[in-house]
Amino acid sequence: MKKQTIVADSSRSAKADRAGRAPGPLEGATFQFGAAQEAQLPPAAVREIAFAGRSNAGKSSAINALARQTRLAYASRTPGRTQQINFFELRNGAVITDLPGYGYAAVPRALKQGWQDFLWVYVTTRTTLIGLVLVVDARHQLKPLDMELLGGFLPSGRPVLILATKADKLNQAERRAAVTGIDGQLHDAFPGHAKDVRVIAFSASSRQGVDEADAAIEGWLAS
């Protein structure tokens, strides 16, 4: 496990607070530690929200956008390099976890399988996990590994928020079509659980969907 100190970029939050906006649930998040194997996971003690997604789907950028920081979650230049679950503490004591990206073909098969097995154990057995944020490239919609992950999580009845990222690369009609397409995939594959999933068009660069995602996560933490 590797510890590090994260210095928050508070300038954006301070400006927003002066304008009267309440801070988002991830604002003020601080890095705690990383767990590279099941034995390194901390005791299940506080509520956790997991962020998952395919490598290069924009997961780190989404976390940074929601936290109003630039380098809270590390975005590797080489997809598939993150080999641990990173834990971040929120202001209210709850935790978000940044899970290893999955599905990157250039990673050796044995190593990739190990990461995916670790992710699967965490998502399906972690008793304090109250919700899952799944990050999906809006241009490619849900892939088989995304569906597999949802298939393991949704039967628990816990909510899922899907961030259809890189929405700024699509026009308005394409964004609507992307969200509708993901909704259709969910209803076809998980007809009994589609009500537990919300899909939001999201862009870290244009900040589209940030306020909606804030509200959804805040609702989980308040319930």
Predicted model pTM: 0.86
What fold is seen in the domain 26-222?
Answer: Rossmann fold (3.40.50)
In the chain, domain spans = 26-222
Specify whether the CB–CB gap between 143 and 103 falls below 8 A: yes
With a cut of 90, say whether residue 200 has pLDDT above it.
yes
Q: Which H helix or E strand runs over 30?
A: strand 30-35
pLDDT single digits (tens) 85-124: 999 999 999 999 999 888 765 555 665 666 678 888 899 9
Where is 87: in which H helix or E strand?
strand 85-89
- Residues 162 and 136: beta-carbon distance below 8 Å: yes
R_g of the chain computed on alpha carbons:
17
Summarised one tens digit per residue, pLDDT across range 139-182 is 999 999 999 999 999 999 999 999 999 999 999 999 999 999 99
